[in-house]
Structure 1
Amino acid sequence: MNDQGLQPFGLAGSGTLAAERNRVLRNTYWLLAVSMVPTVLGAWVGVTTGFAAAMSPMVGLMVFLAGAFGFMFAIEKTKHSSTGVYVLLGFTFFMGLMLARLLASVLGFKNGSSLIMMAFGGTAAIFFAMATLATVIKRDLSTMGKFLTVGAWILFFAFIANAFLQSSALMLTLLVLCLGIFSAFILYDVKRVIDGGEDNYISATLSIYLSVYNVFQSLLAILGIFGGERD
């Protein structure tokens, strides 16, 4: 068979692969949007009941770590079935609940509601900018993931250490680094789906959700530090 005979098969295979990647990306965006509903609900429950604020910082940290890693383990085990979607949504409710302490603190400012809306708008702008960049950039970003992962783990342990140190300067530095690293993670994770490096939309949603969550949390904390107005 000559090259001309092989060409239609190759084009068909390429088209099928592209269609599958687009399907995964669409499902990821859809599930990411849906996941914001339980997040907001969890945050509302947390703020109105004072659930997160009632816990001491150390107890809150332990509950957060146990819950977050427990949910992520369950999501990994169920990601190939519809159950994974419900576990993911349960996880996002939990993450909203854990966000309530920061939200309640910011709402204590006179301009707290405005700061939250600014953080939301800034997070949306960062997400759309990174997602758009991922669709146009041609460079392979696979090696970028290793550096970002190492950076994320360093931040993780640094935040835990600062829970004991209580350093305001270190906290601000970590928040700025967190904002930068997880903004880059959005670019990396969306690009992975586009390039076919991630073919499970539940796993892709989890990764992007965590990045968006950390960007919002970091941005809100920074805005609260510099823009909060007391009565």
Structure 2
Amino acid sequence: MTSHERVVSTSGARAIETNKVIRNTYVLLSMTLAFSAVMAGVAMVSNAPPMPWFIVLAGYFGLLFLTNALRNSGWGLASVFALTGFMGYTLGPILSFYLTAVSNGSEIVLTAFGGTAAIFIGLSVYALSTRKDFSFMGGFLFAGILVAFLAGLGAMVFQMPGMMLGVSAMFILLMSALILYQTSAMIHGGETNYIMATVGLYIAIYNLFTSLLHLLMAFSGND
């Protein structure tokens, strides 16, 4: 085999592996989103109360670290469903509040859902079609998400509604960037594990949806 043939063979194998990661990621993402929706429905039907924020954070980070540790084994699939199911369950009381306590809650929820879907599909198609490399955003995303998380935590603890709105706006921008970054990582080989790629996209979608909910309620005059 000539050097040219080896390059072609290597490139072909890499393309096949990349396509496999992308395909498995979107299949698993669809399944986890569906499971998350089911768990949200369970919480709503059972009238589950909102969990304290520290329990939500402990459950989220604990399951996230567990999924990362098990990402290369079959247990990683069970862990990612545990993580997304838990997050879906915590979303149930939030949706119940919007649908029962807010006059136009159903319109807000549907608008947030539609906006989230449009942003995710639009950015994913853009990244997949242009195949641009967004790896340069890695450091910016890490710093931005850390700052937004700490600011949101402080605004929640000290009851600062204005800052919470600013944090929600920041998260919309950051999660949009995360979708581009994660999709680009799958395309260019920066992420070869479909479980972790699924987690990254799920987190972006979840935070995008909840942030849109918060902003839409504020703009509707209900916040």
Asked whether the 8 Å contact 2:131–2:187 carries over to 1, the reply is: no
Query: Could you tell me which residue of structure 2 aligns to residue 72 of structure 1?
Result: 64
Give 1:98 shift. 1.2
Matches within 5 A, 1:4-23: 5-23=2-20
Give secondary structure in 2 for the equivalent of 1:143. helix
Deviations 1:109-147 (A, max 9, x none): 232222211111111110111111212335432221110
Query: Could you tell me which residue of structure 1 aligns to residue 203 of structure 2?
Result: 210
After superposing the two structures, state which structure 1 stretch, 103-112 or 198-207, moved more. 103-112
* Aligned positions, number: 222
CA separation of 1:104 and 1:48: change in aligned 2, threshold 3 A: same
Deviations 1:58-89 (A, max 9, x none): xx111111100110111012111222111111
User: How far apart, in 2, do the equivalents of 1:137 and 1:225 lie?
Assistant: 35
After superposing the two structures, state which structure 1 stretch, 61-70 or 138-147, moved more. 138-147
Asked whether the 8 Å contact 1:36–1:92 carries over to 2, the reply is: yes
Counterpart pick for 2:49 among 48, 52, 56: 52
Moved over 6 A (4+): none
User: How far apart, in 1, do the equivalents of 2:72 and 2:95 lie?
Assistant: 34
Give 1:229 shift. 6.6
What amino acid maps onto 1:8 in structure 2?
Answer: E
Give 1:46 shift. 2.0
Counterpart pick for 1:166 among 148, 156, 159: 159
Query: Could you tell me which residue of structure 2 aligns to residue 100 of structure 1?
Result: 92
User: How far apart, in 1, do the equivalents of 2:49 and 2:130 lie?
Assistant: 41
What are the ranges of 5 or more consecutive residues in structure 1 without an aligned counterpart?
none
Asked whether the 8 Å contact 2:156–2:164 carries over to 1, the reply is: no
Query: Could you tell me which residue of structure 1 aligns to residue 81 of structure 2?
Result: 89
Identity rate of aligned residues, in percent? Answer: 36
Corresponding position: 1:111 with 2:104: yes
User: How far apart, in 2, do the equivalents of 1:77 and 1:138 lie?
Assistant: 29
After superposing the two structures, state which structure 1 stretch, 137-146 or 125-134, moved more. 137-146
